Structure 1
Amino acid sequence: MSDKKEKVIEQELPKHTLDELSNKNTEYVFQLKKFLTNDFKYSEEDADQYVNQILDEMVEAQRRGTPANRLFGSPRKLAAAHVKGEAEKPATSYWLLWLDNSVIFGMLLFGMSCLMMFFPSKNKATGASNGVLTIIIMSVEFGLTWAYFTRWSIQPKDQRVSIPKLIGVLAIGFVGLFLVTGLAGFIPAQFNPVFSAMTYLIITIALFGAHYYLKHKYNIKGTLF
């Protein structure tokens, strides 16, 4: 019996240690254990055992610049998923990740345009860059580029595309963004209307609500927040 127990402990021993975690990830582990012990009545030993199971993946992702909350979602959700026996890190559909990231960038861009309304510009191109069509196109492209990078960052090393290919894809994405911004002034106004600051504020709030719904409805991981 004791041999079997030692074997289990040996299998669960992680390659990395908690000391390797960043301050942000250390806080994540603290909150995760807190939810497991307080909300789900885990013993300290069982909570530590689960942390050991995900520690290596957390450290490897941290080295790639991916924090635990982006890798696993919130500590509360990860704890609940573990207790319910669900997948610890359910794979988010690429298209769903793209959609949610596009909504986030749309929220940010409409919000920025709302603020810029208070500092009007006489430059036609600058005004057109605040047009609805321009913002939608930029949001979709931002979302696509960020979704691609996110999926790359959380994949195991042997499944990731090469760094040069990643840089190439990201470069194409950013060139596209610059082109959209530069050509915005040539889009006919009837197809690219600029609405009032209040309208943009309402759109920003609506997009935040859409992001909140998508993220919690589909348990999306890998978005900006």
Structure 2
Amino acid sequence: MDLQDLTKKNQDFINIATHQLMQNGKTDEDIKIILEDVLPDILEHQKKGIPARSFLGAPTAFADQFITESKEPLTKSRPKNTNPWLMWLDTSLLFLAIITIATGLMNFFSKQSPTYGLITLLILGLGGGAVMFASYYFIYRHSGKPKDERPSLFKSFGLLIVFMIFWMFLYVLTAFLPAAINPKIPDIALIVIAAVAFGLRYYLKKKYNTENAFSPQPSSN
């Protein structure tokens, strides 16, 4: 985001905070990470007429919160990334990993266990991630807000049910796909897919500090 999109007050906030971060010994890369995380929040509040100083405090105090006595990675003090696409991908990879490793292990011990095609697995993983993210988006992320700012639970649960029905509908449809389009995955390949999904999820979460859709949100009254 271009700093020119900010108001004069918010530009001053960023300039002072940047100078203080430099004084505190932060590298250019550290400062870039901090600003990339906070600028979207500043712009979002700016649209509501709320300057950065009002919700982040004084710029020097904001910068000082990133001073750490230990050598812990900066990502541990960074705000959580709530990018919808990253959160959906995070939950989808988790669902995909769980389904594939569970199916692969069961098939090793029982020939009666279900086998899934490639498209079916993708629908289960990506759809499950979408449903979980929808739960976060419509319900969990509002748990920390005052009651009068929360959306209607009736409406939220109604939307979740629609998402789940659509997910199950797509899953059922995959049973009618020909094997050439929806090939069965060998057991050992399922274990490999699970390992790759877990590894990719770990890498992306570490790199982008993605918010966990399963985490309860802090409450405020």
| TM-score category (smaller protein) | 0.5 to 0.7
Residue 224 of structure 1 deviates from its aligned partner by: 4.0
Residue 195 of structure 1 deviates from its aligned partner by: 1.6
Return the match for 1:184 from 174, 184, 187.
174
* Cα distance, 1:212–1:91 mapped onto 2, change above 3 Å: closer
Q: Does 1:197 align with 2:209?
A: no
Deviations 1:91-139 (A, max 9, x none): 41011101111111111111122123232249xxx54xx1111110121
Deviations 1:178-221 (A, max 9, x none): 22333332111111111211111011001100010011111111
Q: Give the gaps of 5 or more residues in structure 1.
A: 1-80
Q: Does 1:216 align with 2:188?
A: no
Output the amino acid matched with 2:94.
Answer: I
Q: Is the 8 A contact 2:92 2:126 kept in 1?
A: yes
Percent identity of paired positions between Structure 1 and Structure 2:
26
Q: Give the gaps of 5 or more residues in structure 2.
A: 1-63, 69-73, 216-221
* Cα distance, 1:154–1:194 mapped onto 2, change above 3 Å: same
Counterpart Cα distance in 2 of 1:224 and 1:112 = 20
What is the aligned partner in structure 1 of residue 14 from structure 2?
Answer: none
What is the aligned partner in structure 1 of residue 99 from structure 2?
Answer: 109
Output the amino acid matched with 1:150.
Answer: Y
Counterpart Cα distance in 1 of 2:123 and 2:102 = 15
Residue 84 of structure 1 deviates from its aligned partner by: 4.2
Counterpart Cα distance in 2 of 1:192 and 1:82 = 51
Counterpart Cα distance in 2 of 1:189 and 1:139 = 19
Q: Does 1:139 align with 2:129?
A: no
Output the amino acid matched with 2:132.
Answer: W
Q: Is the 8 A contact 1:117 1:197 kept in 2?
A: yes
* Cα distance, 1:179–1:205 mapped onto 2, change above 3 Å: same
Q: Is the 8 A contact 2:78 2:209 kept in 1?
A: no
SS of the residue corresponding to residue 98 of structure 2 reads: helix
What is the root-mean-square deviation of aligned Cα atoms in Å? 2.7
Q: Is the 8 A contact 1:110 1:200 kept in 2?
A: yes
* Cα distance, 1:84–1:146 mapped onto 2, change above 3 Å: farther
Counterpart Cα distance in 2 of 1:116 and 1:183 = 24
- In the TM superposition, 1:1-225 aligns within 5 A as 82-84=65-67, 89-118=79-108, 119-121=110-112, 126-127=114-115, 130-151=116-137, 152-155=139-142, 156-157=145-146, 158-224=148-214
Counterpart Cα distance in 1 of 2:106 and 2:182 = 17
TM-score (norm 2): 0.56
Counterpart Cα distance in 2 of 1:180 and 1:107 = 19
Counterpart Cα distance in 2 of 1:169 and 1:84 = 43
Number of residue equivalences: 140
Output the amino acid matched with 2:194.
Answer: T
